Amino acid sequence: MSDKKITKGRDIDAVLSALQRGEAWAMEALYEETYRPLYALCFSYTHNGYDAEDALHDAYIKIKQEIGKYRGKSGFNWVYTVTKNICLNGVRRQGREEAVDFSDEAVIRALGEDPDSQPQIQDESGILALAKEILRQEELAIVVLHTVSGLKFAEIARAMDKMEATVRWSYNNALKKIRKEWERRNQG
């Protein structure tokens, strides 16, 4: 790695431009900056840690192969779109849904190796499984990207090419659906 230091908050556009120029540090920096939100996106489509890892790996390969198509702006949106397309192609290829395993050790490891800082994704209450069951794919993706990856609504909106207000509404509507169904199932 060159003397470029990988730092949190690095501008994705600058990293992608460096990757286009063939700078060795750029791929590692891209990975460091995008791994968590892109993993969460992949997980929202694949529903298990192993397939999410595979999809994410394929996405980074595709990003490297297609870097010449990047136009120098909206970097996270471009990376998000490449990753989403990899996931959609994978779902189409499989032609089936798999059960969600929110206690999957690969998911826990991938979301953070430090047990004190890793997101709590174990689904002892069943709420995440319920969300997967009742929400549309886009709603589930928004919930996962916001709650697990910590992306801001504006970031999700840019990545999904939607208005921020629409993403906020979808998120809040999804939470209401989950709450209503949870209460319905636990009333008797």
Give the type of residue at 167: V
* Calpha distance 19→11 (Å, rounded): 13
| pLDDT score of 21 more than 90 | yes
In angstroms, how far is CA 32 from the centroid of its own chain?
14
Using 50, 70 and 90 to split pLDDT, how confident is the model at 95? low
* Calpha distance 2→161 (Å, rounded): 35
Burial class from Cβ neighbours inside 10 Å (0-12, 13-18, 19+) for residue 114 reads exposed
- Model confidence over 112-167: pLDDT tens digits? 444 443 333 445 556 777 788 888 888 888 888 887 777 888 888 877 778 989 99
- Model confidence over 2-17: pLDDT tens digits? 444 443 445 889 999 9
Q: Which long-range contacts (CB under 8 A, 24 or more apart) does 30-38 make?
A: 30/60, 30/63, 30/79, 31/60, 32/6, 32/8, 33/8, 33/9, 34/76, 34/79, 36/111, 36/149, 36/150, 37/80, 37/145, 37/149, 37/151, 37/155, 38/79, 38/80, 38/83
Burial class from Cβ neighbours inside 10 Å (0-12, 13-18, 19+) for residue 15 reads buried
Kindly give, in sequence order, each residue whose CB lies less than 8 Å from that of residue 51, ignoring residues fewer than 6 positions away: 42, 90, 98
Asked whether the CA dihedral 51, 95, 123, 79 is positive or negative, the reply is positive
Could you tell me how many residues make up the chain? Answer: 188
Give the type of residue at 86: I
